[in-house]
Amino acid sequence: MQRPPLGSIVALLLLVVSLAACSDGASDGDPVDPGPSATEWTTYGGSLSRTFYNSAATEVTRENAAKLVPLWRFTTGAVVTASPIVADVDLPGEGRTQVVYTPSWDGHFYALRGADGTLVWSHRFKPHPGASYPQAASASVEVIDGRRVVFVGSGMTMHSFDAATGELLWEFDAGTGCTNCDFLAERNEILSSAAVFEDVVYFGMDVNDFGDGKGGVYAVDAKDGTLEWYFDLVTGATCHPDPSDAVRRFDGYHTTDELGLPSDFFSTREGCDFDRTGIACGNVWSSVAIDPERRLLYTASSNCDTDDDPATREPPLMPPYEEALFALHLDTGAPAWRWRPREVDNDDLAIGAVPNLFETEIAGEAREVVGIGVKDGTYYLLDRDGVNELTGAIEPYWQTNTVPGGDFGGIIASASVGEDKVFFSTAIGTDITNPQKPSAWALDARTGGVVWTNAEALPSYAPTSAIPGVVFMGSIGGAVFVYDSDTGKLLNRLSGVGPMSSPAVVVGNRVFFGSGTGARGGSPAAIAFQTSLIPSPISAFCVSGSEGCPEQGTCNDGNQCTTDVRDMGGACVNEALEDGTECAVGVLPGECRQGICLLDEVICDDQNQCTDDIATQSGCRFQIIADGTPCVVRDDAGQCVGGACVPLAG
């Protein structure tokens, strides 16, 4: 069963926190992936190889990592779980400026100046009540037709923006595009971060294992947002629209009418006549890695409960592209090869981490490989062509198990690869009161042998990132742990304010990351839903005394209703401003009251028929209404049960 990393344990967050207390992309038409630069990190994982490693970042070192100090915080109206994306952009009237792009679960996409965290522009996404992880996908900044463009998913929609101005260029819906359908009616969501190559945007879609539906992989024209091909995981088919179709809404199970397509579309377009039964399987919450030379993309998927008996109807036989690492041809979307660690899985040992593409020495020869971590606690390494050149079978060169794993454990977050090592953190496991340890790991990329572990590290759901000599791992305790890449020695802890699902991104002398976790959908009374509403910051740290970085750092607490100064002893003092002072949380305006920014107007419509939406000056409350209250699921009668609208029996 599929469980994205962002909310696997949020129902237990209060206990977790109490325990904690005792990532320039390829240019237009460029055939190579240069990876991150000294000042930019323009795509998830830093490059299309998704290694989360920035070899050009040399200003932060193992020698000065202990001198990383706070620079700024920009508090948004909810949690921030996506990776910051950093690009140098020519802003009108300002010239070349470092800009940080990050979505927040407050429903907005933010562009902030890297130097001081001030707002450049923002965009309010359209609502999608069916998305449990609405703004989880990270952005990508690429050059399209000579200008820098931002691509980012929200809900079921992929967006394209002008990077400098925020102008919305196009939208593509991985589904019907509904903005008011009930939580149970359509669960399509894009957790997958955009991969842009040769003017095409590649991403996956997920239905979070609830209700009717199924996910897949998309290729969309980066210039106009129309579908080029769609790969269906359940059937293994690839749908190719005609060039004149200009498809802007598509998935593998809705009708032509619901998707706004010609009535004969499925029967007349190449590869589109596959079985469209929505069985809630075939979910992609991983992102796509790309090998330009092989012209292959790599991604991974999760599954539903299953068995291995073809005669059994419930649960079904697992389709071949579920809970699998697989490769597709970039130009056609046709499958190249697939592999999975098991044929039957009812323990929710799904794959959500992104594949890492790198080169290492295996049995005395340099080999181009793809590695991935799985919720079973194992990191697997395969040949990029699938076939193990030593055995002739599609199987790993090596696999290393680190912890037992479990439905909210193992290697959920993506690994980092550099210096011939694989760095990653592991999650809680199966018992919140007894987390599996060690939680921080470094493996030899050549053999899979353990280089180091750190038993004191807290479990993590945040991707690991690294630069020469230094590794950054987020934690459920609200801090980024900074380690020596050779020894695992703890060098620093950077406060993130709340539990983290966002990776740290290092460019120049700065480190950026988001904070918070949660899950939407279902009952708004659930702890996961409530924690997702907590105002949370995007944070920046810098090397003390380096250019643009004060010796002691700043005292910016991200609260516009306090002064941020140091006393004579050098300690930070954050005193409340006068009541009535104008303020904002994200882009939502308000005024200060006793040091807290109380918002003038809070948009609290969760598009759920089974809740009362209550706006208060400090935020939103969603109160579930009585079970049995009439409601509507699509066009059918339903009733409210536990804050969700369910169809009437019969």
Q: What is the pLDDT of residues 570-583, one digit of tens each?
A: 889 999 999 999 99
2 confidence band (pLDDT: 50, 70, 90): very low
Q: What is the pLDDT of residue 25?
A: 38
28 confidence band (pLDDT: 50, 70, 90): very low
What rounded mean pLDDT belongs to the chain? 89
- Say how far apart CA 462 and CA 416 lie, in whole Å: 11
Average pLDDT on 320-331 reads: 95
601 confidence band (pLDDT: 50, 70, 90): low
Give per-residue pLDDT as tens, 162-207.
Answer: 999 999 999 999 999 988 776 667 889 999 999 999 999 999 999 8
Q: What is the pLDDT of residue 35?
A: 72
pLDDT at residue 469 tops 80: yes
- Say how far apart CA 156 and CA 173 lie, in whole Å: 6
Q: 3-class SS at 124?
A: strand
Domain boundary assignment for the chain: 25-543, 601-647
Which of the two residues, 231 and 500, has the higher pLDDT score? 231
Give per-residue pLDDT as tens, 369-422.
Answer: 999 999 999 999 999 999 999 999 999 999 999 999 988 899 999 999 999 999
User: Would you say 226 and 246 are in contact if contact means Cβ atoms under 8 Å apart?
Assistant: yes
325 confidence band (pLDDT: 50, 70, 90): very high
Please count the other Cβ atoms lying within 10 Å of the Cβ belonging to residue 335: 18
Q: What is the pLDDT of residue 344?
A: 81
Give per-residue pLDDT as tens, 86-115.
Answer: 999 999 999 999 999 999 999 999 999 999
Residue 554, both tokens: 């700043």
For the question of whether the overall pTM of this predicted structure is more than 0.85, the answer is yes
Q: What is the pLDDT of residue 381?
A: 98
Q: What is the pLDDT of residue 643?
A: 82
pLDDT at residue 545 tops 80: yes
- Pick from 100-104, 488-492, 582-586: least confident: 582-586
Please name the residue that has the structure tokens 């980012």: 152
Please count the other Cβ atoms lying within 10 Å of the Cβ belonging to residue 277: 11
Residue of 220, 277, 222, 216 lying closest to 245 (CA atoms): 220
316 confidence band (pLDDT: 50, 70, 90): low
H/E run at residue 169: strand 168-173
Beta strand pairing call for 365-373 and 378-383 = antiparallel
Average pLDDT on 637-643 reads: 85
Average pLDDT on 60-72 reads: 97
602 confidence band (pLDDT: 50, 70, 90): low
271 confidence band (pLDDT: 50, 70, 90): very high
Return the beta strands (E) in 416-536 as ranges: 416-418, 421-425, 440-444, 450-454, 465-467, 470-473, 479-484, 490-495, 505-507, 510-514
Q: What angle do CA 560, 561, 566 make, to 5 degrees?
A: 85
Residue of 108, 215, 123 lying closest to 165 (CA atoms): 123
Which of the two residues, 349 and 541, has the higher pLDDT score? 541
Hey, what CATH topology would domain 25-543 get? Methanol Dehydrogenase; Chain A (2.140.10)
